[in-house]
Amino acid sequence: MLLSAYQCGPGMGSVSQIGWEWYSRLARRVPVTLATHIRNRAALDAAGAPVGDSRILYVDTEWFAGPLYRAARRLFPSSEHAVFLLSSADFYVYDRQLLRKLRREPERWSLVHAPTPVSPLAATVLHRLGRPVILGPWNGGLATPATFPELMRADAAWFYRLRVLGRVMNRIAGSTRHAALILSATRATDESVLPEDRGRCVRMLENGVDLERFGPAPWPPGPSPEEPLRVLFVGRLIPAKGVPLLIEAARRLRGEVPLAVCIVGDGPAAEECRRQAEEWGLGGTVEFAGARPLEEIPGFLHGAHVLCLPSVRESGGGVLLEAMACARPVIAVRHGGPAEIVDDAVGALVPADGPEAAVAGLVEALRDLARNAQAWRQRGECGRRRAEAQYGWEAKIETVLELYRRVLAGAGAAAPQEVAG
Got the DSSP string for 71-119? HHHHH-TT-HHHHHHHHTHHHHHHHHHHHHHHHT-S---S-EEEEES-S
Q: Superfamily for 229-390?
A: Glycogen Phosphorylase B; (3.40.50.2000)
Residue 134's DSSP bridge partners are 113, 181
DSSP 159: G
Q: Which amino acid is at 270?
A: A
Compute, in degrees rounded to 10, the torsion defined by CA atoms 181, 184, 187, 192: -80
Please state the separation of Cα 410 from the chain's center in Å: 31
**pLDDT at site 421:** 34
pLDDT by 10s per residue, the chain, length 421: 999 999 999 988 889 999 999 999 999 999 999 999 999 999 999 999 999 999 999 999 999 988 988 888 888 776 666 777 778 889 999 999 999 999 999 888 999 999 999 988 889 999 999 999 999 999 887 777 777 777 666 655 545 566 667 778 888 889 999 999 999 998 889 988 999 999 999 999 999 999 999 999 999 998 988 899 999 999 999 888 999 999 999 999 998 999 999 999 999 899 999 999 999 999 889 999 999 999 999 999 999 999 999 999 888 889 999 999 999 999 999 998 899 999 999 999 999 999 999 999 999 999 999 999 999 999 999 999 999 999 999 999 999 999 999 999 987 655 555 554 3
How crowded is residue 340: how many other Cβ atoms within 10 Å of its Cβ? 15
CB distance 384 to 216 below 8 Å: yes
Of 61, 222, 188, 200, nearest in space to 135 by CA: 200
**pLDDT at site 155:** 56
Alpha carbon separation from 290 to 228, 286, 379, 390 (Å, rounded): 21, 12, 28, 31
The tally of CA atoms less than 13 A away on the side-chain side of residue 290 is: 2
Question: Can you tell me the distance from the alpha carbon of 366 to that of 250, in angstroms, rounded to the nearest whole number?
Answer: 9
Q: CB under 8 Å to 391, separation ≥6 — which residues?
A: 205, 207, 208, 209, 321, 324, 325
Residues in the chain, total: 421
Q: 2-208+392-411 and 229-390 share one CATH topology?
A: yes
**pLDDT at site 420:** 43
**pLDDT at site 157:** 52
**Could you tell me the fold of the domain covering 2-208+392-411?**
Rossmann fold (3.40.50)
Question: Can you tell me the distance from the alpha carbon of 68 to that of 343, in angstroms, rounded to the nearest whole number?
Answer: 40
**pLDDT at site 162:** 60
Question: What residue segments make up the domains of the chain, in order of their start?
Answer: 2-208+392-411, 229-390
Q: Which amino acid is at 4?
A: S
